[in-house]
Structure 1
Amino acid sequence: MQVMDRKQARLWAGLIFLLSLIGALTYGGFAVNDWLKDEQRMPVQVINFSGEFSHVNVGRLEQLIRQSQPGSFFELDVNEVFTLIEAQPWIYRASVRKQWPNTLKIYLVEQQPVAQWNDDMLLNPYGDTFEASAPEMTLPKLFGPGGSEKTALEGYNAMKSLLATSSMGISELSLSERFAWQVQLKNGIELNLGRQEFIDRLQRFIDVFPLLTKNEKPVKYVDLRYDTGFAVGWLEDDKQS
């Protein structure tokens, strides 16, 4: 009988010890979790920005990050920071990672505007639109229907390369709903290139331009939508020849 009592006592003692150990571990886990979440004990002290950029306001960007992620280093959500950053003007791409014990490292790739699009957007070299203000930049203006951004930019780049041989540049390019091309050069001449073979037609203009400059009147426009020949409009009296 005494043996059974001793066994039961040991059993109960062991059970009480196990329950106490589980309780201590549970309490310790919650305590550690609370400690890790405590912004004052494990704050994000440093937000390090790298990359080449000139239009991004990193001070403003850091402020937005700290407002959206007020918790500790461990609570900070890298994916949310990434989404927040890429939604900002002038940000093309970003990468975000934590660095122990208190640093957030952010690498930025800035948008590179190459043209204005429909007077309210900017185009990057890949034909993607983005919203940003660039008052100090002199960019060519491209116009076209929605979804034609890449087509318009490809056409502009092809014409720009061709015109570079003649020292003429493009100030405006328009692509109509029917995908007909119209170009205004920096010298004020307007070119109507139509829908087909617009590069060949532009080359025809380049070839005859030296002859056109011999006329006493400046050229206003050249209509190249003909299989052979072209029509010229002159300033002052708008006569065609």
Structure 2
Amino acid sequence: MSNHPSRTAFWAGVVFLLVVLTALVMGGIKVQAWLQDEQRAPVQVVDFSGEFEHVNVVQLERLIRKSQPGSFFALDVNEVFQLVESQPWIYRASVRKQWPNTLKIYLVEQTPVAQWNEDMLLNPYGETFSASAEGLALPRLFGPSGSEKTALEGYNAMQSLLATTAMPIVELSLSERFAWQIQLGNGIDLNLGRTEFIDRLQRFIDVYPLLAQQPKPVKYVDLRYDTGLAVGWETSTDEQS
């Protein structure tokens, strides 16, 4: 008889514990459902900051809301970050939640400095990104895959040399054998070869004032010589006929 009260108390404790555990589980399910309910805790504000010109933030917000239709609590910041950085004109981004209903996104936009092989753009680091060049006055760079940084570094070096001549580079080609050719804003084509292309370009700059005095305009200059150069002249319509 003496064990009966203790046995009753034990089972009463077990039942109480089961009731508590059941209540906790049910409460957790209800809390989870509440947190997932977009109407109870919606993301009301998507706040974009940073300096950008080409990013369409209205369209970007629409993409974010479509990919993350749940509540503020259910929203996955990492997924939003990956979605934002996958957009063509976005170079870097940071994403964070701000209680109680705001998603804050800071954007760093790509800076295009050149077209690459007609279907890509280059940023100042020689990295390609896929975006439209429409309306952008950019030099056209061509070269084999993997030569983006080399081509851009060569362009920058040559453009610096030409800065005072009013003859900007409008097109640059780097061949499979890494020979350089450029076209200037005045239409002159320069063949600079594979080596010493900066010295050869300087040779052209030095001699150009004499070439410009000639009665015929210059069409191309071949500088692939240790000394001297070869000049091709524009042919008039009368001479062609």
TM-score bucket (shorter structure): over 0.9
Q: Which amino acid aligns with 2:6?
A: K
Q: Does 1:122 align with 2:142?
A: no
Alignment of 1:32-181 (within 5 A): 32-181=31-180
Letter in 1 for 2:7: Q
Number of the residue aligned with 1:228: 227
Counterpart Cα distance in 2 of 1:202 and 1:134? 28
Deviation at 1:109, TM superposition (A): 0.7
Q: Which residue of 1 aligns with 2:190?
A: 191
User: Aligned-pair distance for 1:172?
Assistant: 0.6
Give the gaps of 5 or more residues in structure 1: none
CA distance in 2, matches of 1:134, 1:219: 30
User: How far apart are 1:79 and its partner, in Å?
Assistant: 1.3
Cα shift readout 1:139-163 (whole Å, capped 9, x = no counterpart)? 1111111111111100000000000
TM-aligned CA deviation for residue 42 of structure 1: 1.2
Q: Partner letter of residue 29 of structure 2?
A: F
Greater mean deviation of Cα atoms: 66-75 or 56-65: 66-75
1:118 partner amino acid: N
Give the drift of 1:165.
2.3
Query: Matches of 1:190 and 1:28 in 2, distance apart?
Result: 77
Shift of 1:234: 1.0
In the aligned structure 2, how far is the partner of 1:126 from the partner of 1:141? 16
Offset of 1:97 from its aligned partner?
Answer: 1.1
Distance 1:130 1:9 in 2: 74
Task: Provide the rounded CA distance (Å) in 2 between the counterparts of 1:11 and 1:139.
Answer: 83
Count of aligned pairs between the two proteins: 236
Query: Which residue identity does 1:212 align to in structure 2?
Result: L
Shift of residue 5, structure 1, vs aligned partner: 2.4
Residue in structure 2 matched with residue 207 of structure 1 by the alignment: 206
2:239 counterpart residue number: none
SS class of match (1:232): strand
Question: How far apart, in 1, do the equivalents of 2:181 and 2:133 lie?
Answer: 25
Shift of 1:69: 0.8
2: CA distance, partners of 1:7 / 1:177 = 91
TM superposition shift of 1:82? 1.2
Deviation at 1:204, TM superposition (A): 0.5
Structure 2 equivalent of residue 10 of structure 1? 9
**Aligned AA (1:19):** L
Amino acid at match of 1:188: G
Q: How does 1:11-30 map to 2 (within 5 A)?
A: 11-30=10-29
Provide the secondary structure at the position in 2 that maps to 1:166: coil
What whole-Å deviation, never above 9, does each CA across 1:191-227 have from its counterpart, x for those lacking one?
A: 0000000000000000111111111111111110000
Report how far residue 167 of structure 1 moved.
Answer: 2.2
Indicate the percent of aligned positions where both proteins have the same amino acid.
74
